[in-house]
Amino acid sequence: MNIPIVAPPGTDTGTVRYTIAMPGYLLASGTTPLAQGSATIAYDPVALSATFPNLDVGGRLAYGPGLADTVWVSVALDGADGRLYADHVTLQGPDVYRPAR
């Protein structure tokens, strides 16, 4: 699953720092460059389940592939303009939740 990051208007370059976590576990963290006001964070639960076998990749409602866990993606954007922005996304199974704006 790719999670798109879109910077506020006027911020075209910088560094995106992120963490991907679930209750009790830091699943992944890293950085990716912001280019032309956007970046992408990859969340691959199948690959992560090799290290974290408690990460369910079998779905909640049917037998077979799917997502079941609550996972948080936290993002900090360090803009080349010196400003710092932050945001987060909650994944609940296959559903995506963002804070109200």
Q: pLDDT of 2-14, one tens digit each?
A: 999 999 999 999 9
Q: Which positions ≥6 away from 86 have C-beta within 8 Å?
A: 74, 75, 76, 77
pLDDT exceeds 80 at position 20: yes
Q: Enter the pTM of the model.
A: 0.86
Compute and round to an integer the Cα radius of gyration of the chain: 15
* Alpha-helical regions (H) of 1-72: 45-48
Structural tokens at position 55: 């990460």
Q: What pLDDT, on a 0 to 100 scale, did the predictor assign at position 61?
A: 61
Please name each of the domains of the chain with its CATH number.
Answer: 2-95 (2.60.40)
Condensed to tens digits (0 to 9), the pLDDT of residues 30-67 reads: 999 999 999 999 999 989 989 998 888 876 666 656 67
